[in-house]
Amino acid sequence: MSQIRGTNVLVTGGANGIGKLMGLKCLQEGAANLIIWDINEDNLQKTARDFSSKGYKNVHTFVVDVSNTDDIEKSATEVLLEIGNIDILFNNAGIVAGKKSFWEHTAKDIEKTLSINVSGVMNVTRVFIQDMIKQRKGHIINIASASGLIPLPKGSVYASSKWAVLGWSESLRMEFELEGKDLHVTTVCPSFIDTGMFKGVKAPMLFPLLQPEDVTNKIIKAVKNNDAMLLMPENVNIVPFLKGVFPAKIFDKVAGFLGVYSSMNSFEGRPQEERVPEKKAKVK
């Protein structure tokens, strides 16, 4: 079982939503240091003040754009020199591009989504993974999505990014297992979570909107148990089986009847003022 107490924990996209909640849970579990990476400086400062008011002084905030490789490497160097190796890494940062058919997306929509949701996840892991291997211990948690298991009309670019994360995360897990050390990967595939990121979505039948607190508690439990995969809600576990048993056309009829294929039609996302800023400054 992975212990959180006494570890250095880094959470990307950790200034709000489930990222913030996961950071708080790790502090409550006794993490030695919590490092938060986020592109939104205002949210970072608010989160730092919030955690400080709760008595947690071991919180380190960095404004980081995970779509920028130079930014990742520079910030990682600072973390490693000033704080030390990362023991537990939550790859949580991500964005949603939705309510558009694929042909309505611009090149910028596609590039931005993939650079944050896929390249960002891999590159953040890359800069910390060598030290995990050297110390023969580490745990990486990748927040994928249930949309990595099923088609998502009006969300094809977002879904493709999560399919990529799922495939990479599972492959990394096997590479860790072949190393034969205390190295672990947990892949998390939740359906829609009731946060601003998914504002406006219509939850399919049998797959209700997930509550952030419940999602966070289950993720922390999965980390402590070294679970390889966490699908939420539990009904999602049957999706791979149904896809394997039913012909595509029959599966599509079932998914369509349940409302899966129309869930993004009313998607709104975060209000404009809450979205990721284009420019940033370094938090000191």
Radius of gyration of the chain (CA): 18
158 included as an active-site residue: yes
Helix (H, G, I), strand (E, B) or coil at 35: strand
Structure token digits, residue 133: 């291997």
Q: How far apart are CA 224 and CA 2, in angstroms?
A: 5
Number of CB atoms found within 10 A of residue 93's CB: 25
- Residues found in the chain: 284
Q: Are strands 33-38 and 8-12 parallel, antiparallel or unpaired?
A: parallel
Q: Of 128, 158, 198, 267, which residue is the catalytic one?
A: 158
Q: How far apart are CA 148 and CA 9, in angstroms?
A: 26
Number of CB atoms found within 10 A of residue 95's CB: 22
Q: How far apart are CA 12 and CA 241, in angstroms?
A: 32
Structure token digits, residue 19: 């990222």
- Residue 233, preceding bond cis, omega within 30 degrees? yes
Which residues have a catalytic role annotated? 158
